[in-house]
Amino acid sequence: MLPEIGQFALALALAVAMVQAVVPLAGAARSNAAWMRSARYSAFAQFLMVAVAYGCLTTAFITNDFSVQYVAGNSNSLLPLYYRITAVWGGHEGSLLLWVLMLAGWSVAVAVFSRHLPLDMSARVLGVLGLVAVGFLGFMIFTSNPFMRLFPVAMEGHDLNPMLQDPGMIYHPPLLYMGYVGFSVAFAFAIAALLSGCLDATWARWSRPWTTLAWVSLTCGIGLGSWWAYYELGWGGWWFWDPVENASFMPWLTGTALIHSLAVTEKRGTFRSWTVLLAIITFGLTLLGAFLVRSGVITSVHAFATDPERGVFILAFFAVTIGLSLALYAWRAPSVGLGGGFGTWSRETLLLVNNVLLVVAAAVVLLGTVYPLAMDALGAGKISVGPPYFDTVFAPLMLPLAALVAIGPLVRWKQDLPTRTWQQMRMTAIAALSAAAVWPLFYAHWSPYLALGLFTGLWVVLAIGLELHQRTGLRPAGLARLRPSHLGMHAAHLGLALVVIGVGMVKSYEVEKDVRLAPGESVDIAGYNFTFDGTYPLPGPNYMADRGTVHVTRGEETIATLHPEKRTYASKRGMPMTKASLDRGLLRDLYVSLGDPLDKGAWVIRVYYKPYIGWLWAGCVLMALGGLLAASDRRYRVRIAQAAPAKGKLAMGRT
């Protein structure tokens, strides 16, 4: 019975979403206040309906209702309760339901927190979000119904993919979807502004916290996915340039460009039509990602089960939404003023270069991702594009970007002198350069590429210190007076610096060794000694594991005892899963995982030494924290009547 209620709730949600889309937009066009006010209630009603549907599906998972096809395909009665709850988003249909739930949740948040906006603006934003919801709800109801019954009823579920039975996987998809869906709010603000014809600094201020929150979620989602891949897949890799990773990375790149371009629009009133276009592109890339992942046009380790009907639906959705948005943009953008001018050496110029680099980087990733498809479509054969391409083209774009991060915050808005910047920054540049030249000497070898990466990363750190020193004299009282958004910027930039340094170090100095070890034998890498004690069987709730014991020592000192596992899940999928065991540290991770069993208790053991890899995740956390700080700034919550006009803020020169 419950699944039918869920399905009915979904259908109702679609109907409500249509009302939410049509009535407020029509009301805004005809200045009908009652119609515009209805947007809020529709948003609440739609959220309620989707939440009911989500609750029904979750209940079906908890009660092991294998008469529901989706539950039978993604759960199992042996699965622990918490994984039964998270298995809801373990497959295509359920993850789509989660997506829609989040979209409805964001709409409610907009309805609640946008009371200070003019009525026509909030009505248009909610109306556009309603349109997006119509698309996704329609996609789910017509092509991917999670409540489909199975007859005859399965006796036992097929089990959740063992790779997804991990805490990292509990949070990774929801955060990623929070990010994707959050960018539809930024998109809705952009379309609302185009519809109203009012693309000014106030619009940018309204849109900024939402965009930043979406970016924070996406940052966390990508970081968590990478962290999960690192320890769960057992190969020690943290980024594979897989098409689906790229699908999440492209909106992150353009979204990063968007939050910077919004800053310019808010502070200086320029870049207006570019900002709107970026919002449309970023949302378009999230749809494109959904298409790539869920249509089966591209082979990937992540891809969901494929169905051409689904691909046609999302493609049509993508074409209509983005096509109409671009048409609206082409119609309205020429009437948008250019805003304030700026000199050739100014913060605006540097942010423009930042935007160009980020968009080019996104284009490069897009090209690498769809190139195999394009070759295939042109009949030129099947090819695959891998890390060699991405690594080659991506690093040269990211290093100048990191250098810009160092320089940008120290350059004045509107007009500055390169000589002044140089005088300010030369000490930090020289210090960063010397440290970058010396630092690698503590390690195995010196390479110019690594030195360049270390230089840009260190320079960012020193430049942040310099900026804070200039502004506050680094006195606690002065630091305490800084705006949260200013601190947020520095935190995020510091995070980027950590990522740059971490990537450089781990790419240069990681040691990976795969060895055959019998119990009692040992191996040395990077100064550490790993002794294998053999394995013993250890049963889990729905799997059998071989658990190994590896003692790590350095000289006389005991570092850690690691327990890598090899698990075989009881369900029919029966694939062995590798559970790596790590000793994490500030400057290095030691990583041990079990390969294959050999004769007489010996195993193939993978022993990895990963220097500075923790800096990657620390950097992601800092970036996300920075975004949260920035979004928490009180000026975004000031009522419209009290908000100072944008021009009043120019003199303060803050990002």
Interface residues toward other proteins, by CB under 8 A: 235, 237, 240, 242, 277, 288, 291, 295-301, 308, 311-312, 315, 318-319, 322-323, 326, 329-330, 333, 370, 372-374, 376-377, 381-384, 386-388, 512, 514-516, 573, 575-576, 595-596, 604, 606
| 297: nearest Cα among 236, 289, 534, 95 | 289
**Cβ distance to other proteins smaller for residue 331 or 443:** 331
Q: Token pair of 201, please? A: 């600094």
**Cβ distance to other proteins smaller for residue 330 or 480:** 330
Tell me how far apart the alpha carbons of residues 28 and 606 are, in angstroms, rounded to a whole number: 62
How many other β-carbons are positioned within 10 Å of the β-carbon of residue 190? Answer: 29
Q: Token pair of 32, please? A: 């009908």
Q: How far is the CB of 62 from other proteins (least distance, A)?
A: 27
**Cβ distance to other proteins smaller for residue 232 or 242:** 242
Q: How far is the CB of 5 from other proteins (least distance, A)?
A: 33
**Cβ distance to other proteins smaller for residue 120 or 242:** 242
CB 159 within 8 Å of CB 573: yes
Strand ranges (E), 297-364: none
How many other β-carbons are positioned within 10 Å of the β-carbon of residue 527? Answer: 9
Q: Token pair of 634, please? A: 């009180």
**Cβ distance to other proteins smaller for residue 416 or 510:** 510
Q: How far is the CB of 379 from other proteins (least distance, A)?
A: 10
**Cβ distance to other proteins smaller for residue 51 or 373:** 373
Q: How far is the CB of 376 from other proteins (least distance, A)?
A: 6
CA angle 120, 124, 130 (to 5 degrees): 145
User: Measured in whole angstroms, how far is the alpha carbon of residue 560 from the centre of its chain?
Assistant: 33
Tell me how far apart the alpha carbons of residues 431 and 452 are, in angstroms, rounded to a whole number: 13
Q: How far is the CB of 325 from other proteins (least distance, A)?
A: 10
Dihedral sign (CA 82, 88, 89, 92): positive
Q: Residue 235, SS3?
A: coil
Q: How far is the CB of 218 from other proteins (least distance, A)?
A: 22
β 511-517/603-611 pair status: antiparallel
Q: How far is the CB of 166 from other proteins (least distance, A)?
A: 17
**Cβ distance to other proteins smaller for residue 138 or 311:** 311
CB 39 within 8 Å of CB 122: yes
What residues contact 150, with CB distance under 8 A and at least 6 apart? 66, 67, 68, 69, 72
**Cβ distance to other proteins smaller for residue 66 or 608:** 608
Residue 271 phi, psi dihedral angles, 5° rounding: 65, 20
323-333 burial, b at 16+ Cβ within 10 Å, e below that, comes to eebeebbeebb
How many residues appear in the chain?
Answer: 655
Tell me how far apart the alpha carbons of residues 26 and 620 are, in angstroms, rounded to a whole number: 42
Q: How far is the CB of 481 from other proteins (least distance, A)?
A: 43
Q: How far is the CB of 249 from other proteins (least distance, A)?
A: 15
**Cβ distance to other proteins smaller for residue 267 or 606:** 606
**Cβ distance to other proteins smaller for residue 4 or 391:** 391
**Cβ distance to other proteins smaller for residue 63 or 384:** 384
Sheet holding 511-517, edge to edge: 511-517, 603-611, 588-597, 581-584
**Cβ distance to other proteins smaller for residue 8 or 318:** 318
Tell me how far apart the alpha carbons of residues 81 and 571 are, in angstroms, rounded to a whole number: 16
CB 519 within 8 Å of CB 534: yes
Q: How far is the CB of 372 from other proteins (least distance, A)?
A: 7
CB 65 within 8 Å of CB 3: yes
Q: How far is the CB of 329 from other proteins (least distance, A)?
A: 8
Q: How far is the CB of 263 from other proteins (least distance, A)?
A: 22
Tell me how far apart the alpha carbons of residues 76 and 162 are, in angstroms, rounded to a whole number: 11
